[in-house]
Amino acid sequence: VCVCTPWQIRKALNASGQRQLVESAVAASTDITLKDGWEFATQFASDDQFVIAMGSLLGKDAAETREFIQLASTL
């Protein structure tokens, strides 16, 4: 399992040009738990259902999502 901070995931999303897609998906969601997770989580883990769902939204499978979180953890 790979883990990164909110700042790291946002930097990775900015660098990959995918930040707005995630922000828009969260804003459009009616799932308050998803919104709270994006706003208040202290870490993002590659095996978390929220992270996996967002990875799918970005066209990534579980392995690619894990790699993205791993990359983010280095930023």
pLDDT for 58 equals: 86
Q: Report the distance separating Cα 56 and Cα 75, nearest Å.
A: 22
pLDDT for 36 equals: 94
Q: Report the distance separating Cα 70 and Cα 62, nearest Å.
A: 12
**Maximum CA pair distance of the chain?**
32
**What pLDDT, in 10s, does the model give residues 55-66?**
988 899 999 999
Question: Does residue 69 surpass a pLDDT of 90?
Answer: yes
**What pLDDT, in 10s, does the model give residues 2-52?**
999 999 999 999 999 999 999 999 999 999 998 999 999 999 999 999 899
Q: Report the distance separating Cα 11 and Cα 48, nearest Å.
A: 19
The 3-state DSSP class for residue 68 equals helix
Using only C-alpha atoms, the chain has a radius of gyration, in whole angstroms, of: 11
